Structure formats: structure tokens, C-alpha cells
Amino acid sequence: ATANIGVVGLAVMGSNLARNLASREGNTVAVYNRSRAKTDELLTEHPEAGFVPAFSYDEFAASLTVPRTAVIMVKAGAGTDAVIDELVKVFEPGDIIVDGGNALFTDTIRREKAVRDTGINFVGMGVSGGEEGALLGPSLMPGGSDESWVTLGPILRSIAAVAEGEPCVTHVGHDGAGHFVKMVHNGIEYADMQLIAEAYDLIRRGTGKTPAEIADVFAQWNEGELNSYLIEITAEVLRAQDAATGAPLVDVIVDQAGAKGTGGWTVQTAIDLGVPVSGIAEAVFARSVSSHPEQRAVAANLPGPVDELRVDDAEAFIEDVRLALFASKIVAYSQGFDEIRAGAAQYGWTIDLGAVAKIWRGGCIIRAQFLNRISDAYAEVPDLQVLLTAPYFVDALQRAQDAWRRIVAQAAAAGIPSPAFSSSLAYYDGLRADRLPAALIQGQRDFFGAHTYRRVDREGTFHTLWSGDRSEITAEDTH
Ligand code: NDP
């Protein structure tokens, strides 16, 4: 046995992660793939990595020093289960199996429980940063046992992205905590992308600027408080020209957004937990609206304004859009972190939310300077109930809100869809409202279903005899 770590699954993510591991001092990496071709190809293309190839699970286990540590990077779902079943047969108590695929956290909880009975450690690890991140430094979100972290910690720290001198990895929490946090990362990513897309659309329709000109706006925004990877790549995409037609690339791309499902998981999980993540939900649904051409075709002639946004002062309008984007982004991140908080409470994880914000500063898709403000907020008040109530965000929302309201109102009046901007503002106003019409909903529920209500002036639960004399009784009397 010569390898201190192994990788199973040598498609793009696995082979890049294996190369990243091999490039770090002190690592020797064993590699295995179900079909032999990918292993052979990797060995031929990267002799410098000194990989130890295995062509069976027995060989793979034999090539690893104890405690054996293997990272699985295969197709999430049945593929992961198939590999775990094989590894469990050849590994021993104390060894470590890491799943770096995009698993649903409830699958990770199930797998961890099943593998734990064998004495083997199972770690579900979120990996973000795509192919490039895997190769050069991803943001890593491992869950699993404290025991496995002793072995894994130094290895993962050596391959993770580095942000402001700190590696972008932390032991997030036990069993499914890592994949849960990765899921919410992706949900926030959906919201961030949708918000940026709405900002672009408003600027284009409001000012008539070309995509290349709007690229300059985003490049400039990237110098300020919006500084982030997504803003940076937005400028690149908007500047790109189609070689075949000479048109802006964004104008020749079909306007139907795809999705691999993790945004939807974030929303489904939030519904189960009772956490409002409306910005993320709107982002997921905006992709759904876009990707139903048959529905869009039959709806195309519905009445409403078309291209009626006329802006007098383009510069002031663009600054309004920037502020609306920043405010809505604060809402999306706040909702995401609230979901992590709720998930930790539900599943019994101890998650340091400030540490999560820090490991997202580098390597991952939502990497941004802004995350420092989130870790500051949790450093000050670790059990902050609602992230956006931290002083920095209150100030930012104070600064941004007139612009935010103007933009949402202008978009609605002009018939420009801005679901993430407007739902974020509605969430914000709902959260800060002194009274909500939820009181009426309770009245309606009591009317048709005798669901009872509480009163503002007295303890207890009450029911009005709607179909009788409409007197009020205490709920105990209803039975
Ligand atoms: P794919 O998701 O395309 O999966 C292909 C790999 O899975 C191949 O190595 C394939 O082996 C293996 N595989 C599939 N089914 C089985 C099985 N039943 N038994 C054994 N091996 C199997 O690869 P990617 O590299 O794109 O992604 C790997 C994982 O990383 C996925 O879970 C993905 O969700 C996750 N991920 C991907 C990111 C990305 O940007 N692509 C980012 C972060 C995470 P074979 O060659 O024999 O077919």
C-alpha cells in the first residue's frame, strides 16, 4: 500500500480532484473507475501525477494505507450507492468513504447510518467550483464524524481554494450537514443568477444599451460592494460575440434556462422546514417559466405593455438597478442562511454559520467579498434570528430601498418580469410589517374548517360559531 488517498470515478470532476490531490506535497493518489478507459486515459495524459491505478475494488483497497480514505466522484444517486456497496466490502472499520457528488442530504443521512454499522466512516462532502474548482481549489463542505475529520482535515485543507489566507473548508457538521449546506449554496446561486439576469434585462430595456455596453456596467459593479465571481463572469458573457453571426452571444442563445435540481431541493426542503426562501423559489420557477416554449407560445399575445420602459436619466436608473440588486441579494443570502439555521435545528447539527460564509469566499460559484459581512454578522451575534437584521445589512437596506422600490414599480408598470427583485421586496416588507393580513386568513380557516385562532388580547384558542349564532367560544368547547 502506497497511496494515502484514493478517488473513485474519473469523469471530469473526479479526475480533476485526483490531479489536485496529486499536486500537493505528501499525497499519493490511488485511482479507480468502473470502466477502464477513463483510468487509462488519465494515466496517459498525466504521468506527472504519479497515480496508483487500480482495476478492481480489491486492488484499490490494497493500494491504500490505513486508515483507507477514498473520495467518490460518480453520478449522484444509484451510482453512488453502487460504489459504496463495493467499497464497504473491501474496507475495514476506521476507514473513510467520502462522497463528493451532489447527493441529496437525506440520502447522505441514510448512507451514513448504514455505513456506520460497519465501523467505516462515511462523509458526505459538498464540492463547489465546477471542473476548474476541482482542479485548482474548490470550496469543500464535508459532513461526517469527528473521527474522520482528523484524517481528512489536513488533506482537504491542502486542496481547497484559499480566500484571504484561509482554506475554504470546514467540518460543517455531522452526517448530512455538508450536503445540506452545499444544497443551500446552490439555491443561493440560483437566486444570485436570476437577480443578475433581471438587472441586465432592466438595463437593456430601460436604456437601450448593447450587451457589450452593459458588460462595462457589470465590470464596474465588480469593483464595488457587488464584487463577486458571478458579476465578473456576467461581464464576460455579455461581452462575448458570436463568431458565426457577429451578434452578441447572449442574443443567439436560446432563452430557456436548464437546471440540475439542487435549487429545487433547496426550495422543497425549505417548505418542509417552514422557512420562507421566496427569492430562491422565484429563481427556480423563473427557470421553469423560461423552459416551457409551448406555454410561452400560446401566451405570447396576452395583453400588457411591451417595451414601454423609457428612462430619462440612464445613469441614475443604472444606479437604482444596482441598489435593487444589492438589496435583493441580501434577502436571498439571508433566506439561505436562515434555512441552514433551521436545518441544523431540525437535524441536530452544530453548524457555525460564520464559518460557512467564510468557506464560500473562494472556490465556489457564489464566491464574493460580501460573505465577509455575513461572517462578521454571525461573529457578533452567533444565533442571529434573521441575517438581514444585522447592522451592516440594515444600513445597506436603508441605503438601497428607495431605489429598490422604484425599480420594482417601474418594472411592473412596464410589464418587465422581475420575479426575484419583487418577491425579495415583498418578503422584506412582510417581515417588517407591524400587522399582516394573516389575521384574515386565520378567520377564513376558522370559517370553513373550524381551524381556530388566537386573539391579540387573551390567552387561549378560539372559534366563532359561523353557521350558528356567530358567538365566539373557546376552542376546548368545540368538541
Ligand atoms: P458524472 O456525474 O457525469 O458521472 C460519471 C462518472 O460516474 C463516471 O466515472 C462513471 O463511470 C461513474 N458512474 C456512473 N454510474 C456508476 C455506477 N453505477 N458505478 C460506478 N461508477 C458509476 O461525472 P462528473 O464528473 O460530472 O460529476 C461527478 C459528481 O460530482 C456528480 O455527483 C456531480 O453531481 C458532482 N459535481 C459535479 C460538478 C460539476 O460541475 N460537474 C460540481 C460539483 C459536484 P463510467 O466511466 O464507468 O461510466
pLDDT tens digit sequence for 358-373? 999 999 999 998 899 9
Amino acid at 440: L
Question: Residue 350 in contact with residue 173, Cβ under 8 Å?
Answer: yes
Rama region for 165: left / alpha / beta (φ>0; ψ in -120 to 50; rest): left
pLDDT tens digit sequence for 454-468? 999 999 999 999 999
Ligand 1 center from residue 221 Cα (angstroms): 36
User: What's the pLDDT at 75?
Assistant: 95
For atom 32 of ligand 1, the residue with the nearest CA is 101
| Closest among 106, 110, 103 to 76, alpha carbons compared | 103
Closest atom of ligand 1 relative to the 14 alpha carbon: 25
Backbone Cα Rg of the chain: 26
Complex ipTM, two decimals? Answer: 0.97
% residues pLDDT > 70 (the chain):
99
pLDDT tens digit sequence for 191-250? 999 999 999 999 999 999 999 999 999 999 999 999 999 999 999 999 999 999 999 999
User: What's the pLDDT at 393?
Assistant: 97
| Closest among 412, 423, 421 to 304, alpha carbons compared | 412
Give ligand 1 pocket residues (Cβ under 6 A): 9-14, 33-35, 38, 73-76, 78-79, 82-83, 101-102, 127, 130-131
pLDDT tens digit sequence for 243-270? 999 999 999 999 999 999 999 999 999 9
- pLDDT at residue 477 tops 80: no
State which of 7, 8, 10, 13 you would mutate to test the pocket of ligand 1, scoring each by most atoms of that ligand within 8 A of its C-beta.
13
| Closest among 368, 364, 369, 373 to 168, alpha carbons compared | 364
Cα pseudo-dihedral 409, 414, 416, 421, rounded to 10: -10
pLDDT tens digit sequence for 316-340? 999 999 999 999 999 999 999 999 9
Ligand 1 center from residue 71 Cα (angstroms): 12
C-alpha pair distances (Å), 371 with each of 138, 337, 356, 382: 16, 11, 9, 15
pLDDT tens digit sequence for 86-124? 999 999 999 999 999 999 999 999 999 999 999 999 999
For atom 22 of ligand 1, the residue with the nearest CA is 79
User: What's the pLDDT at 31?
Assistant: 98
According to the annotation, is 222 in a ligand binding site? Answer: no
User: What's the pLDDT at 308?
Assistant: 82
pLDDT band at 476; cut points 50, 70, 90? confident
| CA pair distance 299, 250, nearest whole angstrom | 23
| Closest among 421, 416, 423, 422 to 204, alpha carbons compared | 416
Amino acid at 125: M
According to the annotation, is 102 in a ligand binding site? Answer: yes
- Within 13 A of 27's CA, how many CA atoms are on the CB side? 28
- Residue 65 DSSP one-character state: P
Question: Residue 379 in contact with residue 207, Cβ under 8 Å?
Answer: no
| CA pair distance 282, 234, nearest whole angstrom | 20
| CA pair distance 436, 459, nearest whole angstrom | 20
Ligand 1 center from residue 143 Cα (angstroms): 20
Question: Residue 187 in contact with residue 262, Cβ under 8 Å?
Answer: yes
Ligand 1 center from residue 288 Cα (angstroms): 25
Please provide the DSSP assignment of 217-270 as one string: HHHHHTTTTT-BHHHHHHHHHHH-B-TTT-SBHHHHS-S-----SHHHHHHHHH
State which of 19, 41, 73, 131 you would mutate to test the pocket of ligand 1, scoring each by most atoms of that ligand within 8 A of its C-beta.
73
Residues annotated as catalytic are: 182, 189
The pTM is what? 0.96
Question: Residue 135 in contact with residue 144, Cβ under 8 Å?
Answer: no
